[in-house]
Amino acid sequence: MKKVIVIGSGFSGLSAAANLAHKGYDVTVLEKNATAGGRARQYEAKGFVFDMGPSWYWMPDVFDNFFEQWGKKRADYYDLVRLDPSYTVTFADGDVMRVPATMPELEAMFEKYEVGSSEKLRQFLAEAEYKYKVGMGEFVQKPSHSITEFADMRVLKSLFRLQMLTDMRKHVHSLFKNQKLRELLEFPVLFLGATPQNTPALYSLMNYADMVGGTWYPRGGMFKIVEGMMKVCQELGVKFLFNQSVKNIYVPNGHATKVITETDEFDAEIIVGSADYHHLEQEVLNPEHRNYDEKYWDKRVMAPSCLLFYLGVNKRIKNIEHHNLFFDESFDVHAHDIYTDPKYPQKPLFYASAPSKTDPSVAPEGCENLFILIPLAPNLDDTNDDVREHYYNLVMERLEKWTGEAIRPHVIYKRSYAHRDFKKDYNAFKGNAYGLANTLMQTAFLKPKLRSKKISNFYFTGQLTVPGPGVPPSLISGQIVANEIAKTFK
């Protein structure tokens, strides 16, 4: 059995580890933190259970496939609940759009905002379904070593239908006139880390995932996915070692033989780096073994970072649901402050999640578990706690206004988290939260490559390489890298 070391235990690392173990490799995962999950870790404080990162469970088929590959069932690892409404969107005029889970109700809601729009929605979602099936079924599964993978006639023909060269904004605006519906339909591409103007209309597949696939919740929190995947890994024979921060790779003659951590050395025949690509390249590998240089990395469009608040509230909050988007300020102005002229925004949009609305196990009785997320440009100066406090008050004031009740006096637990924490905990390049943005120029074979060009047995996986950011893509990234390894190292 060839010895594989996987660096990092986020979704991509767990997925790569399970896939490789299933193919018969002897897999050990080295993780710098004390627990698995990476950006999706969980912690408990004062009886509140906080998921630290992802909170939206979309594309349930991708998760189900992960378990079914080894003849297992997702339901044996965790329970899923479909949320209805899927989420709410609050606009500046106080209107709250409750996005229903069923299609007839969704169509009725569209008609309310724009007469005739339900027919257009059907057309939009039919196209999105095609993109989802081709995009998720074929495109995202490609290792994207080169453009030639996309060059057969069938794929070329589908490129037109996939709308790779139209942007999301044009696509949405060509069908819908109502500004609120436009913002609703542009929201899912924010998960990909870029603006709708910069994201290929291929990614309306995310709208299919949202409106048809649905928004789900694993009972006990998103960390249940991590626990389930870890259990599968262990059942397949994967070993986990925590508090092992990888510092260097020993590479005599272009072939890696050892992984060196702060305290130990591990022999390896194949290495999969699932930590942030930039960190592995620029801080772990020696200069002569890097695919790219700092100039290359500086030109990459990173997905945003964010300022998070994990809050324990000693009462139930009325007028919010499990997922709540606050689009009560200008989307374009905030996007400008993230991408065009990176700076702290004056009037940010924000997202609030209250998983205790669905799941009493994540908060003490009678209390609310509240998670607030403000998207921010990567690489902002995050040394001043007063800045965090300013944003806390700014968004809480708005949340109190829209919910119609005081919340701050009832906060009995509070923790903030932003750039400096992403760097410290995950070695995140520029403190990014969601990796590399999925812009047209950073799609597929234009992304940092998953195979090292300098080390014959070193591979990269995770949200900075193919297919991109988000939990389902990270999971797929681990599968792709395992398949590539199996092709080369039989």
Ligand X SMILES: Cc1cc2nc3c(=O)[nH]c(=O)nc-3n(C[C@H](O)[C@H](O)[C@H](O)COP(=O)(O)OP(=O)(O)OC[C@H]3O[C@@H](n4cnc5c(N)ncnc54)[C@H](O)[C@@H]3O)c2cc1C
Applying CB under 6 A, the residues found at the interface with ligand X are: 7-13, 30-33, 38-40, 53-56, 245-246, 274-275, 279, 284, 306, 308, 373, 426-427, 433-435, 462-463, 469-471, 474
Whichever of 7 and 128 has its CB closer to ligand X, that residue is 7
Q: Is 415 helix (H, G, I), strand (E, B) or coil?
A: strand
Which residues, 6 or more positions from 480, have their beta carbon under 8 angstroms from its beta carbon? Answer: 141, 142, 143, 450, 461, 466, 467
Q: Is the peptide bond before 467 cis (omega within 30 degrees of 0)?
A: yes
Q: Distance (Å, rounded) from C-alpha 427 to C-alpha 275?
A: 8
Q: Distance (Å, rounded) from C-alpha 278 to C-alpha 24?
A: 29
Q: Is 181 helix (H, G, I), strand (E, B) or coil?
A: helix
Q: Distance (Å, rounded) from C-alpha 73 to C-alpha 469?
A: 25
Whichever of 38 and 214 has its CB closer to ligand X, that residue is 38
- Least Cβ distance, residue 425 to ligand X (angstroms): 6
Q: Distance (Å, rounded) from C-alpha 479 to C-alpha 23?
A: 11
Helix ranges, 138-178 (H): 153-162, 168-175
Whichever of 30 and 367 has its CB closer to ligand X, that residue is 30
- Least Cβ distance, residue 366 to ligand X (angstroms): 27
Q: Distance (Å, rounded) from C-alpha 429 to C-alpha 435?
A: 8
Cα-Cα-Cα-Cα dihedral sign, residues 207, 208, 211, 215: negative
> Minimal CA–CA distance to 124: which of 216, 214, 213, 206?
206
- Least Cβ distance, residue 247 to ligand X (angstroms): 7
Match 């995310």 to its residue by tokens: 206
Whichever of 197 and 245 has its CB closer to ligand X, that residue is 245
Whichever of 58 and 402 has its CB closer to ligand X, that residue is 58
- Least Cβ distance, residue 148 to ligand X (angstroms): 26
- Least Cβ distance, residue 113 to ligand X (angstroms): 25
Which residues, 6 or more positions from 193, have their beta carbon under 8 angstroms from its beta carbon? Answer: 301, 302, 303, 304, 434, 435, 436, 437, 438, 468, 469
| Contact (Cβ atoms closer than 8 angstroms) between residue 290 and residue 282 | yes
Whichever of 117 and 443 has its CB closer to ligand X, that residue is 443
- Least Cβ distance, residue 449 to ligand X (angstroms): 16
Whichever of 54 and 200 has its CB closer to ligand X, that residue is 54
Whichever of 55 and 198 has its CB closer to ligand X, that residue is 55
Whichever of 48 and 176 has its CB closer to ligand X, that residue is 48
315 phi, psi to nearest 5 deg:
-155, 165
From residue 443, how far is each of 49, 65, 100, 309 by CA, in Å?
A: 36, 24, 31, 31
- Least Cβ distance, residue 52 to ligand X (angstroms): 7
Name the token pair of 269: 């025949």
Whichever of 40 and 121 has its CB closer to ligand X, that residue is 40
| Contact (Cβ atoms closer than 8 angstroms) between residue 256 and residue 455 | yes
- Least Cβ distance, residue 394 to ligand X (angstroms): 19
- Least Cβ distance, residue 71 to ligand X (angstroms): 24
Q: Is 65 helix (H, G, I), strand (E, B) or coil?
A: helix
| Contact (Cβ atoms closer than 8 angstroms) between residue 372 and residue 308 | yes
- Least Cβ distance, residue 279 to ligand X (angstroms): 6
Q: What is the DSSP letter of 303?
A: P
Whichever of 31 and 114 has its CB closer to ligand X, that residue is 31
> Minimal CA–CA distance to 182: which of 110, 129, 238, 127?
110
Q: How many CB atoms within 10 Å of residue 176?
A: 23
- Least Cβ distance, residue 374 to ligand X (angstroms): 10
Strands 265-267 and 258-261: antiparallel
- Least Cβ distance, residue 375 to ligand X (angstroms): 9
> Minimal CA–CA distance to 135: which of 466, 485, 483, 478?
466
Whichever of 176 and 429 has its CB closer to ligand X, that residue is 429
